[in-house]
Amino acid sequence: MSLSQVVRVKVPASTANLGPGFDTLGMALPLYSWLELRPSDRTVFHLHGDQMEGLPQDKSNLIYKVSQMVFQEAGVSVPDLEISMYSDIPLTRGLGSSASAIVGALAAANALIGSPLPDAKLFHMATALEKHPDNVGASLFGGIVAAAWDGTHADYVRIAPPAHLETLVVIPDFQLSTTKAREALPAQVKLEDAVYNISRSSLLTAALSAGRLDLLREAMKDRIHQPYRAPLVPGMSKILEEAQKQGALGVALSGAGPTMIAFVDNRDARIEQLRVYLVETMEAEGITVSCLQLSPVAEGVQVLGDKSDRTFMEMIRGEITA
């Protein structure tokens, strides 16, 4: 095993479900978290920025624990680490912040010990930790990922983002935990709703593969999670119903919410009109939001080849948006 002195990784955020593809479809988005790992004689943390506030700075930290899982899987001992982290991905908003932390730790720890574990192994480990493959698949592989997980094994296919696909992401200023958003779901769904979702999710996957943006209007519809989650996100039902009339190709709750994501064609002159509509609709419910225009990113987690003497924060300064 060759142990590196330092490894830095950059991990994209992700949106999950894309409407009907509950726990199945994910797409990488250009908001990032950065992580640096160094072998050390004691475990220390340098957590930068607001997103890191309150995170544990001892061996109960997720990054530390996930790194140790990689070392254990590879049969290597690296008991102490110097861990630096910064993230632009808002926490608990449905943009895959926890998935990005898991993927970053897996990729960085693996690179630190000479990359003995293949990507498929990292994907299994990430899915086992996150319990569903949609966010982790997108953060790991980039683009759009269709994945299935049976509790021990995950299969996936990555699809390159279609040309002209762009998104407007409306991020409310309140947090909604995935646990709470999953508790809102029924234990059983009707067969006709299952069929409704299977057909839309299949159509959506095929449409994204074929670049058929014209099909997203129908293909992004969902009946098995969004209707039950709508009461948790003021303005959501209205946006699901009306956004297409304002220029959206399709619209969905991003992951478990509360962020909403509208898919748009970047050649459509109505993007600004749609942005105003989305923001005003949520603000009319008394919610403060920020709205970002984000293009899907083709690249997943990157191990950065930074050999310079720049510090961790010097490296990412200039790239960060917050």
What residue numbers does the annotated binding site cover?
Answer: 90-100
- Integer Cα distance of 223 and 211 in angstroms: 24
Judge whether 51 and 39 are in contact, CB under 8 Å. Answer: no
Q: Compute the least distance from the CB of residue 116 to ligand HSE, in Å.
A: 29
- Closest to 51 measured CA to CA, from 109, 98, 103: 98
Q: E strands within the chain?
A: 7-16, 25-39, 44-48, 81-87, 144-149, 154-159, 165-172, 250-253, 260-265, 289-294, 302-304
Count of residues engaged in binding ligand HSE, rule: CB under 6 A:
13
Q: Compute the least distance from the CB of residue 24 to ligand HSE, in Å.
A: 8
Which of these segments, 70-78, 176-184, 188-196, 313-321, binds ligand HSE (CB under 6 A)?
A: 176-184
- Residue 140, interface with ligand HSE (CB under 6 A)? no
- Residue 222, interface with ligand HSE (CB under 6 A)? no
- Residue 201, interface with ligand HSE (CB under 6 A)? no
Residue 312 neighbours by CB distance under 10 Å: 20
Which of these segments, 14-22, 47-55, 258-266, 299-307, binds ligand HSE (CB under 6 A)?
A: 14-22
Q: Pick between residue 151 and residue 305 the one whose CB is nearest to ligand HSE.
A: 151
- Residue 230, interface with ligand HSE (CB under 6 A)? no
- Please list the residues that pair with 86 across neighbouring strands: 34, 48
The alpha carbon dihedral of 108, 113, 119, 124 has a sign of negative
Judge whether 135 and 96 are in contact, CB under 8 Å. Answer: yes
Q: Which residues are annotated as a binding site for ATP?
A: 90-100
- Residue 93, interface with ligand HSE (CB under 6 A)? no
Applying CB under 6 A, which of residues 15, 17, 51, 100 lies at the interface with ligand HSE?
17
Applying CB under 6 A, which of residues 178, 201, 226, 246 lies at the interface with ligand HSE?
178
- Integer Cα distance of 108 and 125 in angstroms: 14
- Integer Cα distance of 97 and 103 in angstroms: 10
Q: Compute the least distance from the CB of residue 290 to ligand HSE, in Å.
A: 20
Q: Which residues bind ligand HSE (CB under 6 A)?
A: 16-17, 22-23, 132, 134-135, 178, 181-182, 225, 255-256
